[in-house]
Amino acid sequence: MRDRALRAIAECKRIAAMSEEPGRIVRRFLTPPMRQVHALLRGRMEAMGMSAEVDAAGNLRGLWQPRNTGGKRLVLGSHIDTVPDAGAFDGVLGVALALEWVEVAQELGLPLSIEVIAFSEEEGVRFGVPFLGSRAVAGHFDSALLLLKDAEGISVEDAIRDFGLDPSRIGEAALHPDAAGFVEIHIEQGPVLEAEDLRIATVSAIAGQTRLSLAFKGHANHAGTTPMRLRRDALAAAAEWITAVESLAERSDGMVATVGKVRVEPNAGNVVPGFVQVSLDVRHSDDAARAAGVEEMLARAAGIAERRGIGLDRRDQLDQLAVPMDERLTALLGSAIEAAGFPLKTMASGAGHDAMVMAGKVPTAMLFLRSPGGISHHPAETVLEEDVEAALHVGREFLRRMASDVG
């Protein structure tokens, strides 16, 4: 399996060079580098005896269908778009490993049809809405999405047409009814597996998310002439609340909370801040715990604002429910991990993935690989050869079980 692991890593690095910008990885939905990726992966698929096509949403899809197969198929995949200045392995490794899994199934002679999907869009960078590729496959592509425009004024519909595809046929991208399950292989994008010295894990659920913004409204005034006791300092109020958010999240097991964006007005060194807008991002795999945590954070903000004589406004932006992975498919994956000789670790994903969209259509599971340094969405993102090799050993055991399960 070592040679396979090295090949998968090398393939990710080759794809990394297919970028919109020299010197860094940027590959957005249906931009020219996507054609290069399609050509590389399609050539590999066809060389393996798979049929290959690009659907109307720009997803590259390869199908291995041996003669002795039953009616059901396993679907594997991840995304091939990136954030700006990305690493080489987010999404792409899942596609490279999916093709390696197909070769393993071929060598074992398993009576299992396997479809591999390289999703065209997951990150939401170009049009501000994520999962355009997997939405189409899951049958959840709202026609209103075609009207979205990028920074250059190009609509989703135009982008699809410019790529040589027909947006009126997006409905045909829906998953084949014979699909028995979907598995996404992905780097963890966090530090948990490294901290526990583990190579791989199954995913129990993709965390729900709450996103909102708060505006603290005080009164701007002269920094030299306004006594401390008479100030209505919006930034001081916001700062007190930000530390409270951190404290509240630390007390709730499994919760993460982030204030990552702050806008201060008038933003001058010699003026008491009169207005501050801050973001709040709260995630948890338990929706009830997340909701309770958010309410407590908002109550703390209201209390701070009242005590300091500060106005407070709230603007809700997102309330995404947690998405559990399929228990049966996850158990098969866990059994494969143990059969391959690795400790079984199950964890929640704090990041969103195509799997959360696919889970609404078909039984879905995820396999995580360790992220060295917990780094992702960054040029320093990498993987370890032994972890990629572990995912291949797990794949062999999982495919055997899956072939028996659907046979």
Other CB atoms within a 10 A radius of the CB of residue 270 amount to 8
Print burial letters for 285-324: b (CB count within 10 Å at least 16), e (below 16). bbbebbeebbebbbebbeebbeebebebeeeeeeebebbb
* 257 closest CA partner among 214, 200, 310: 214
* 191 closest CA partner among 249, 140, 256, 145: 256
Q: Where are the beta strands (DSSP E) in 122-178?
A: none
CATH of the domain spanning 2-206+322-406:
3.40.630.10
Give Cβ neighbours of residue 194 (< 8 Å, ≥ 6 apart): 370, 371, 372, 373, 374
Secondary structure (DSSP) of 64-89: E--TT--S-EEEEEEE----TTB-S-
pLDDT string in tens for the chain (407-residue length): 899 999 999 999 999 999 999 999 999 999 999 999 999 999 999 999 999 999 999 999 999 999 877 679 999 999 999 999 999 999 999 999 999 999 999 999 999 999 999 999 999 999 988 999 999 999 999 999 999 999 999 999 999 999 999 999 999 999 999 999 999 999 999 999 999 999 999 999 999 999 999 999 999 999 999 999 999 999 999 999 999 999 999 999 999 999 999 999 999 999 999 999 999 999 999 999 999 999 999 999 999 999 999 999 999 988 989 999 999 999 999 999 999 999 999 999 999 899 999 999 999 999 999 999 999 999 999 999 999 999 999 999 999 999 988 76
State the residue for tokens 């987010």.
90
61, 117 Cβ separation under 8 angstroms: yes
CATH of the domain spanning 208-320:
3.30.70.360
Domain layout of the chain by residue ranges? 2-206+322-406, 208-320
